[in-house]
Amino acid sequence: MAPEPEPEDGRELYALLHLSPESSDEEIRRAYRQFAQIYHPDKYQDPQMKDVATENFQRIRDAYEILSDENKRQIYDIYGMEGLNSGLELGPKLNKPEEIKRQLEELRRRKEEEKLFVHARSTGSILANISVPQYLDGDGIMGGMGMSSEIELPVSKQNTVTVGGNLVVNGTTGSGAATAVLRHQLSSVSSIDFMATAGLRSLIGVQTFRQISPNSTATSGIALSLRDGSVNLSNGWSRQLSEDTVGNIQLVLGTESNISVGWHKKDEKRSAAGEIKFGTNSFGASAHYTHRFSSKSHGRIAGRVGSTALDFEIGGGRRISEFSTVRMLYNIGIQGVTWKFELNRAGQKLVIPVLLSTDFNALFVTGAFAIPSTLYFLLQTYVVKPYYLRREKQKTLEKMDSLSTQLTEARQAAKKSQRLLEPVSNRKRNKQQESDGLVITKALYGNHKKVKESSQLSEIDDNVASQVLDVTIPLNFLVTEAGQLKLHEGIKKSGIMGFYDPCPGDPKLLLVEYIFHGRQYKVMADDYGALSIPQDIHEI
């Protein structure tokens, strides 16, 4: 049986009732009765206190209803509140433990499948060639179109199916192909692909991949053409040359034999790549460099030279949303002068090359580059950049205000909850003092660093008050009649009644100072760590 994942809510229901995940049904009932006596709304006459009691009573009642139901409790233990709120059901009530376990195992399997299929990736592109010279000659403005699409779908942990296709139309002629690939993961370092293509180039093939060392990988493949029976063999090697640089060699033997050597380097600010390729009928070299000016904008320069290509490209792009990027490139080559517009969104791409001229007039070539570049930088400087700065500033302020409001409300709720606990907490404290038992004299919970700084102070400093909460009252409330206090392993402490999370995302610490049998003690515990007091090793 697979290990059960930890719920993301830190087992808050157990924290609310101060229970261990291993607590018995009787312990759950006893804990509920204890808190119900404190928070029952009928005990309070003051309207504000009554509202606080009602809210907290509803929380502990909801927690009890889930933890006292065997089916709901087991779903919560595996999936947390997300599992209960997302409609996971165990069907009719099952009395036998083995039936419950079997049903939960089925739910776990379904959940894993859902996670797996969420990672299905779809990519595609549309290429629309526009030709201004062709249009000026009286022909249609469209010089041709191409479309391709591919979807990668995991079918199990070891197997992935990729299905794709493409269509190309040029004038009155067209062609297309469909491809299917099954990838089987043989081990953590090796895999094998079975592929088949139907259309203009019908073939079947097999390709293997293996990581031969921590820094090196190798591929080897064979493909058989179903049209002429020709066979192509391919072998590739890549090696990590440095932390951010990879080199590779590719050798192909067949109807179009060739060998290529390349490299690729990428870091946070820039990426660059280059390749030299020699074949039986052709040769060529290419390189490109991309520089990221910020998280939203980048510039690119690229070039190709060889027996079938000679061009130079320069341009840049900008991210306009979380998943969308636009790019404009200027290209000059043997075909002429071209503007290229690109839109990328979540794996989908639209590319529109616009052939401006097949002539290489110096004035036209210069103007085709200078005019859009100048317009872009003017637009970027005086319109786009100020707009994005204002929008980002506004978003940041809104997030800060929202978080500040939520934390203020949570702190007020924790303080009100402590007010309800205070009478019983004081009675327990006085009783422990009379018997020379366990008395919590100081307890702070919050930011790890700030709690340590405050441990030497008699009062919480104003500079850290917003990130540290005094939890002396709720901890004295949790002290048992036998003079013991236990906080359970794996239970997030911010879920305890009278607590809250004053610094979401930051490491948190609980500091406890206490007196037992007239001696002073001090201990610290992490947010999810267990704590059991009194213990001799805590003595100051």
Give the mean pLDDT per block of 10 residues along the chain (540 residues).
43 86 89 88 85 89 89 78 60 49 62 58 88 86 90 86 91 87 90 92 93 91 91 94 92 92 92 95 94 88 93 90 87 92 89 91 85 79 77 83 86 90 93 94 92 72 77 94 91 90 90 94 92 92
What are the domain boundaries of the chain? Answer: 1-88, 120-360, 406-539
Gap between the Cα atoms of 387 and 390, Å rounded:
5
Q: What is the pLDDT of residue 157?
A: 77
Contact 400, 406 (CB under 8 A): no
* Domain 120-360, classified CATH 1.20.120.430, yes or no: no
Q: Rounded to 10 degrees, what is the CA torsion of 131, 134, 135, 137?
A: 160
Give the number of other CB atoms < 10 A from CB of residue 228.
7
Q: Which pLDDT value is given to residue 82?
A: 67
Residue 115, CA atoms < 13 Å, CB-side half-sphere: 7
Partners of 178 in the β-ladder: 165, 198
Q: Please answer whether residues 340 and 351 qualify as being in contact, where contact means their C-beta atoms are separated by less than 8 angstroms.
A: yes
Instruction: Say if CB 35 and CB 27 are below 8 A apart.
Output: no
* Dihedrals phi, psi of 22, to nearest 5 degrees: -95, 10
Query: Which of 297, 299, 291 is closest to 272 using CA atoms?
Result: 291
CB count within 10 Å of CB 22 equals 8
User: What is the model's pLDDT at position 2?
Assistant: 38
Q: 173: Cβ–Cβ under 8 A, 6 or more apart, which residues?
A: none
SS3 content of the chain, % helix, strand, coil (to 5): 35, 40, 25
**Whether the Cβ atoms of residue 36 and residue 58 lie closer than 8 Å to each other:** no
Q: What pLDDT score was predicted for residue 8?
A: 45
How many angstroms separate the CA atoms of 35 and 37, rounded?
A: 5
pLDDT of residue 205: 96
Return all residues near 338 (Cβ < 8 A) that are at least 6 apart.
330, 331, 332, 353, 354, 355, 356
146 has which bridge partners?
Answer: 127, 168
Whether the upstream peptide bond of residue 154 has omega within 30° of 0, thus cis, is no
Q: Which CATH architecture has domain 1-88?
A: Orthogonal Bundle (1.10)
pLDDT at 110: 63
Question: Residue 129: enclosing H or E segment and its boundaries?
Answer: strand 121-131
What's the confidence (pLDDT) of residue 118?
56
Q: Which residues on neighbouring strands pair with residue 119, listed in sequence order? A: none
Q: What is the pLDDT of residue 193?
A: 95
Q: Which of 306, 307, 308, 314 is nearest to 337 (CA)?
A: 314
Q: 305: which strand partners? A: 285, 310
Beta carbons within 8 Å of 486's beta carbon, 6+ residues apart: 530, 531, 532, 533
